Structure 1
Amino acid sequence: MKRFLKSILLVVPFVLSHQILADDGAPKTASQDDLLNILEGGPAEEDALFQERQELTISLRKELGQTTPEQNIFLSFMDQNQFEKALYQWWPAFEKKPFLKSATGQAVYAYLLFKNGLERNGLQTLMVIKEPK
């Protein structure tokens, strides 16, 4: 569980900084985008992000133990970077489960809120977690 919370805490600042740096207001052409990918190592960064997503879902699977079909659907949405669908699947997957009220469960929910454009709600949810481990 500690490893999972650490990975969440590492991903959130990365996402924030990426959004701030990426939005300079000027539209980019395809050639500029390719040049930026070459100079900034775009595909390598995408591979690193994919690796982090895999680690996140692997940690989550370990935390959950035996998963239900609804939880498997949720985890597949997380793997595919479909955070809106994952948020819709959150309640069917975890209602009436102890994971929903756990510190890790609340951290995952905060992450989903953040990824769906509800940054303030996500951060508030993250900050009210009692006894984070």
Structure 2
Amino acid sequence: MTLEFLEKKEKLRKLIDDYAVLGDEKKITEQMELFTPNITYKAFMGGIVVSEVSGKTNMEKEFIGHASLVKTYFTLNGQHEVQIDNDTAFGVSFAQIKMIREVDGKNVLTDYSVRYDDKYVFQNDKWLINYREGHFIIIEERLLTS
């Protein structure tokens, strides 16, 4: 591995971590700066596409709508493997995402185990997500007692 490869890999990992941190903080407008203008995002549950959005403007509206329903997000990123080819890269990353929503006056925790399949591009001196698939592999929901 070259130093250049390791630097690119570190910048791509930071991109993934920034996505999680900004999402947890509900800084959706700032989070959109991590994507190309023509981003496509697909969400899969049980192997079925449950959501597909294209373009930063549409994605921002969708993310804001979703965030308005969530009291608290908490994301923990895991493995992140990348293949880099000059100014493009492909990556697979894993995350645990917890969301607390209020349902009938009670807090409900939904815990997601997610695998992201991404395509990244290097534009304007930074790495951006150009395509993302979120595969929600395990979903657990429970009432919080405290």
TM-score by length of 2: 0.27
Which of the pair is proportionally richer in helix?
Answer: 1
